[in-house]
Amino acid sequence: MTASADSSAPAPGRPGLELRRLSVHFGSVAALCRVSAGLPAGQITCVLGENGSGKSTLVAVLSGLLRHDEGQLLVGGEPVRFRSPRQARAAGIATVWDDLAVAPLLSIWRNFFLGAEPTRGSWPLRRLDVDRAREVTVQAMARVGLPHLDPDQPASTLQAGARQSLAVARAMHFGARALVIDEPLAPLTVAQQTLLLQTIVAARTQGLAVVLVTNNPRYAHLVGDRFLLLAHGAVAGSLTRDDVDASDLMRLMAGGDEFSALTEALTALHPQLGDR
């Protein structure tokens, strides 16, 4: 449990995650409808869309909270169907939720390891290696933009952006191959947002496939390599950084003519979406 992220992350440019005509239904309602997208390793894919577009359902599928009904989810080229978040984590997918919780009274290094603490010695004299745990925590947090941190301070002393950075650093250290970050920016100050975006870029540099779910097109364009636009549970657009600038993304997200045209085209292709 001490492998670093770059020992298991796939090479940049190859699909870390892939969706093939993936669908999720709640009764007769299609929360996701035949969604296909590549989420390559070493790149940040920003998932954008209005409320009800299917973003939360996609996060739930990737994190193991929901099973898809049709299509395929591939991890490293292999199809998977997660039955629990534990299975998703075992496959190398780490999810950082918008309401991330830490154990506030425990130290930062305790929160970093959470049951995977390093030990030394042999049974029956094996004991916790606190010095190693502190050292690893400091190094891992420095890699995501938080140097000179006191690993013994309570996690409650960290601000929101730093707590999310702690979760990202932990995922990178324990060998995650993909990182899903759910709506991370809304409750943060500008300084906290800057820290978190710096952390997200660090994860990309380490070769992870990063999926950033956000409603903020300006921040998405700052760090994103690709942009997956969802509407009514289907793909309304799959764009790269070369396709759009920040203003284009803002017009699409603001419900401009381009986004309306995409939505109308989707409804024409899939009439059942208009009944939602």
**What's the mean pLDDT in 178-206?**
86
**What's the mean pLDDT in 178-187?**
82
How far apart are the C-alpha atoms of 193 and 75, rounded to whole Å? 29
Fold of 5-102+177-275: Rossmann fold (3.40.50)
pLDDT category of residue 126 using cuts at 50, 70 and 90: confident
| More confident position, 67 or 4 | 67
* Ramachandran angles phi, psi of 167, nearest 5°: -65, -40
Crossing angle of the two packed helices 160-173 and 190-205, in degrees rounded to 10: 10
Nearest to 113 by CA among 138, 85, 149, 93: 138
pLDDT digits (tens, 9 = 90+) for 99-109: 666 788 999 99
How far apart are the C-alpha atoms of 181 and 174, rounded to whole Å? 17
| More confident position, 111 or 125 | 111
Res 189: pLDDT = 81
Burial 15-35 (b: 16+ CB within 10 A, else e): bbbbbeebbbeeeeebbbbbb
Residue 161 has pLDDT above 90, yes or no: no
Instruction: At 113, list the tokens.
Output: 């390891």
Res 4: pLDDT = 37
Residue 1 has pLDDT above 50, yes or no: no
Contact 200, 46 (CB under 8 A): no
pLDDT category of residue 160 using cuts at 50, 70 and 90: confident
H or E, element range at 203: helix 190-205
H or E, element range at 23: strand 15-26
Share of the chain above pLDDT 70, in %: 84
Domain boundaries in the chain? 5-102+177-275
Residue 232 has pLDDT above 80, yes or no: yes
Residue 259 has pLDDT above 70, yes or no: no
Res 52: pLDDT = 86
The predicted model scores a pTM of 0.82
Q: Is the bond preceding 124 in cis, omega lying within 30 degrees of 0?
A: yes
Reduced to 3 states (helix: H, G, I; strand: E, B; else coil), residue 108 is helix
Residue 246 has pLDDT above 50, yes or no: yes
**What's the mean pLDDT in 26-41?**
93
Average of per-residue pLDDT values in the chain? 85
| More confident position, 50 or 101 | 50
The count of other CB atoms within 10 Å of the CB of residue 72 is 15
pLDDT category of residue 116 using cuts at 50, 70 and 90: confident
Strand-strand pairing, 29-40 and 15-26: antiparallel
